[in-house]
Amino acid sequence: MASSIPDRAEVVVVGGGIIGCSIAYHLARRGLTDVVVLEQGTLTCGTTWHAAGLVSQLKSSHSLTKLATYSARLFEELEDETGQATGYRAPGSISVADNEGRWEEILRNATMAEGVGVETRVIDLDEASERWPLMRTDDLVGALYIPHDGVTSPVDTTMALAKGAKARGARIIEGVSVTDLTTHNGAITGVVTEQGTIEADVVVLATGIWTRHLAAKIGVNVPLQACEHFYIVTEPLDGMEIGTPTLRDPDNYTYFKEETGKIMAGFFEPRGKLWRMDEIPRDFSFGTLPEDWEHVGPIFEKAIHRVPALGEVGLQLFFNGPEAFTPDGVYYMGETPEVDGCYVAAGFNSVGIQTAGGVGWALADWIADKHPPMDLNSVDIRRAQPFQSDEAYLRDRISESLGLLYAMHWPFRQYESARGIRLSPLHDRIEAAGAVFGETAGWERPNWFADEGQTKEYVYSYGKQNWHENMVRECMGVREAVGLFDQTSFAKARVQGPDALAVLNHISVAQIDAPVGKAVYTQWCNRKGGIESDLTITRLGHDEFFVVTAAAAENRDFTWLRRACRGKDLTVTNLTDDMVMLGLMGPNSRRLLAELTEEEDLSNEGFPFGWSRRIVMAGVDVLALRMSYVGELGWELYMSNEDAAPVFDAIIDTGGTHGLVHAGYHAMNSLRLEAGMRHWGHDITDEDTPIEAGLGFAIDWDKGDFLGRDALAAQKDQPRSKRLIQFRIEDPELLAIHDEPLYRDGVVVGRTSSAMWSATQDRCCAMGYVEHPDGAAVTKDWIDSAAWEANIGGRRVGLSTSIRSWYDPQNQRPHLAD
């Protein structure tokens, strides 16, 4: 019999799996003790009870590695605090590669993790055999040992978290199902249960595979889907000593864990098997799913290849249980964009145990401070797109995303499934011109243009890929003549009404009260001065503005804007799907545009940088903005979808005589990086301020108060001890990606934030924050007086440094830029 429920709680956490219990534990530790956890069955009865319990520390990014390493530390200490054993131990782990590409991936991950303090060691194959005697090693290229990787008991660890939460005042109530959620004016107000209603200021959905359907009741979009997930457990066998490290063999889709002298082998098959698209019943408690040897058989064969003894030993258990997977293979956390005060932590893609500690800590801070404790953009629920909850989409994509866990994570890897969701009206024309597409926020975007007869496919590697020369030619075309970019995917909105200026000025660091026609580059910052968005705002009229931001930031930025508009007199209209944007960039753009429009004066004086004007092209109305993300003379041309084809055709017809080239997003990324343009999500995030990022010029200190001003003003007069610097990798073949450690005279002082090959430098360029170890200012002298290196997959390579961008149009071509 369930205990009775209260009428009210500050926070209701729905779901008593490891995630819900960790959130309650960390909220209580933060002093938020009026917390109720509601579990429809008993604690752990969803997915948690049957997890294998691996606690690994190598993750895809710096922040996610930080969360995972925190979990390991917490699980180690929790028993001392709570008296409840967690079963945590650290036998270490070994990751093996049977090909060079995989080995490079493992080494690059290890290098990134080193920056977070994770100890890793490359071991020779003899040592690998000694540590894992039943492993076949003759076909291996390399092995990485991670001495402090752990394993834990998922049930005991959850119980310890629950005990710790209760000891600090949280209530945990089992046997109560949340049947609905309540909202008022776009904010959460509580939950409805079978036993009545609980009012709450904050509700957290930690409901695992149930989350998509529960969230949909209040219009919250959490695109995830249950998949079947398999492991087997053998009889005890010789050579499987207690304390044997966990073995990961991603090329054969299998991990092997020692379990009381037996092998537990778990599989991440290339194509996952979905389970139940419809709502999962509440009484699916400690549920298991049937064996499926037809599905698992081929993968099991591969596991036997690595550990031949598996083929001879008896199996004690074939286990199949559901887990929640997401379209990009990364979990969701944070406040939902649709409903204030409604938080989510779900979709753990089979890493929910090892992530639980970190997620509990970060989400508790997020709720308590109304802000995440670090850059968590890659897991933020605001990245979820409405179309991703479509069942046909989920059916197609989730099967691929499960497989991606152990697939090669090549740089620039593109999804193969669920494509073609959002198409530019010019898609067919761009495709006919040779475009090879990539996907961002559902948009098909031309990444590069294939030559006539060239296969329109990616051939992946960690070096220069098959499109490298195409991109270099596109870049040089833009630098030396003019390039045409289809930038339709950029998010666009009209902000209109009596309060439009006041609202935009409040959230922008720049002065938005500019003359009509002026386009302002600005950041939106949070209270801590961290950059939430990096965008342009053009004044179209007295109280009408045009906001343009990155495609991937559409949900996030427009949620930020919508929240700022609360109670104000204005409307925000999302125009992203209604307008095409063409970028015409390069020294010949002016001459080309002049031929295409009646507009007589496109000179620097007549049409200066940072201004907009309505012009007529091919007989249609176009909003032309003199702006450039690639550091060239250029115009962004905005027009309605219906008008795009004639404008595009006119540009192509006339462009030939001006050296016009089609250019894709790989070229754009390269051009912007060498020109020093920061990319939100990599070079600038909500934990970096405009001052640290070298964007202080955008702040208007004279305009009065704005969001983040106090924090920025306090930082302004302090030594700039953290600073974004430009790097050039002085090895003609090596390409960095991001998160590579940076060394000053042999000491790690930062990491790269983004990197890309630069055509003008004929090297890979990168940006990255460096921090002065003594808290003193990062000055030109401090930078110039030392030797700099990056660690790229275990290779220490020399770097050139610069505070200014590598490519500066003002220096290179002063007559072309203002």
Ligand X SMILES: Cc1cc2nc3c(=O)[nH]c(=O)nc-3n(C[C@H](O)[C@H](O)[C@H](O)COP(=O)(O)OP(=O)(O)OC[C@H]3O[C@@H](n4cnc5c(N)ncnc54)[C@H](O)[C@@H]3O)c2cc1C
Binding residues for ligand X (CB under 6 A):
14-20, 38-41, 45-48, 50-54, 177-178, 206-208, 210, 214, 229, 231, 266, 321, 323, 346, 348, 350-354
Instruction: Decide whether 352 or 741 has the Cβ nearer to ligand X.
Output: 352
Asked if residues 170 and 25 have their Cβ atoms less than 8 Å apart, the reply is yes
Label residue 781 exposed, middle or buried (CB < 10 Å: 0-12, 13-18, 19+): exposed
Q: Is 351 or 364 the residue whose CB approaches ligand X more closely?
A: 351
Residue (18 or 627) nearer to ligand X, CB: 18
Distances (CA, A) of 771 to 675, 784, 798, 801: 22, 15, 19, 14
Shortest distance in whole angstroms from residue 352 CB to ligand X: 2
627, 576 Cβ separation under 8 angstroms: no
CB of 221 to ligand X, least distance (A): 17
With residues binned 3-state (H G I as helix, E B as strand, rest as coil), the percentages for the chain, rounded to 5, are: 30, 30, 40
736 is written with which tokens?
Answer: 């960095």
Residue 793 near residue 729 (C-beta atoms within 8 A): no
Which residue's CB is nearer to ligand X, number 319 or number 521? 319
Spatial distance between the Cα atoms of 710 and 93, rounded to a whole number of angstroms: 47
Looking at beta carbons only, is 347 or 809 nearer to ligand X? 347
Judged by beta carbon, residue 41 or residue 425, the one nearer ligand X is 41
**Distance set, CA 120 to CA 38, 93, 106, 451, 738 (Å):** 40, 10, 11, 43, 19
Place of tokens 């949280």: 170
124 Rama class: left (phi>0) / alpha (psi -120 to 50) / beta: beta
Considering the complex, state which of residue 68 and residue 622 has its C-beta at the smaller distance from ligand X: 68
Shortest separation between residue 17's beta carbon and ligand X, angstroms:
2
Q: How far is CA 780 from the centre of its chain?
A: 32
Decide: 623 and 612 in contact? Cβ < 8 Å: yes
Q: Cα(509)–Cα(426) distance, rounded to whole angstroms?
A: 35
Q: CB 257 → ligand X: shortest distance, Å?
A: 7
Nearer to ligand X, 316 or 466 (CB): 316
HSE toward the beta carbon, residue 464, CA cutoff 13 A: 16
CB of 268 to ligand X, least distance (A): 10
| Closer to ligand X by Cβ: residue 157 or 597 | 157
Q: How far is the CB of 146 from ligand X (least distance, A)?
A: 15
Q: Got the DSSP string for 42-61?
A: STTTTTGGG---EE----SS
CB of 284 to ligand X, least distance (A): 8
Closest approach of ligand X to the CB of residue 435, in Å: 38
Which of residues 226 and 792 has its CB atom nearest to ligand X in the complex? Answer: 226
DSSP H or E stretch at residue 638: strand 634-640
Kindly tell me which of 49 and 743 has the beta carbon lying closer to ligand X. Answer: 49
| Least spacing, CB of residue 182 vs ligand X, in Å | 14
**What are the Cα distances from residue 73, in Å, to 70, 76, 118, 243, 464?**
5, 5, 12, 19, 39
Q: Which is nearer to ligand X, 217 or 464 (CB)?
A: 217
Q: Is 303 exposed, middle or buried (0-12, 13-18, 19+ CB in 10 A)?
A: buried
Count other Cβ atoms within 10 Å, centred on residue 39.
28
b/e 577-611 (16+ beta carbons within 10 angstroms → b)? eebbbbbbbbbbbbebbeebbebeebeeeebeebb
State the helix-helix crossing angle for 18-29 and 352-369, rounded to 10 degrees.
40
- Quick one: how far is CA 61 from the chain centroid? 9
Given the complex with ligand X, which of 379 and 512 has the nearer CB atom? 379
CB of 2 to ligand X, least distance (A): 11
User: Taking the complex as a whole, how short is the minimal distance between the CB of residue 360 and ligand X, in angstroms?
Assistant: 10
At closest approach, how far in Å is the CB of 69 from ligand X?
13
In the complex, the smallest distance separating the C-beta of residue 381 from ligand X, rounded to whole angstroms, is 14
Residue with tokens 């219906």: 642
Q: Which residue, 354 or 628, has its beta carbon nearer to ligand X?
A: 354
Minimal distance in Å, beta carbon 526 to ligand X?
27
Q: SS3 for 281-348, per residue?
A: CCCCCCCCCCCCHHHHHHHHHHHHHHCHHHHCCCEEEEEEEEEEECCCCCCEEEECCCCECEEEEECC
| Least distance CB 302 / ligand X (angstroms) | 18
* Dist CA 420 CA 424 (whole Å): 10
Rounded Cα gap, residues 280 and 298, in angstroms: 29
- Residue number with CB closer to ligand X (210 or 467): 210
Place of tokens 């991936």: 105
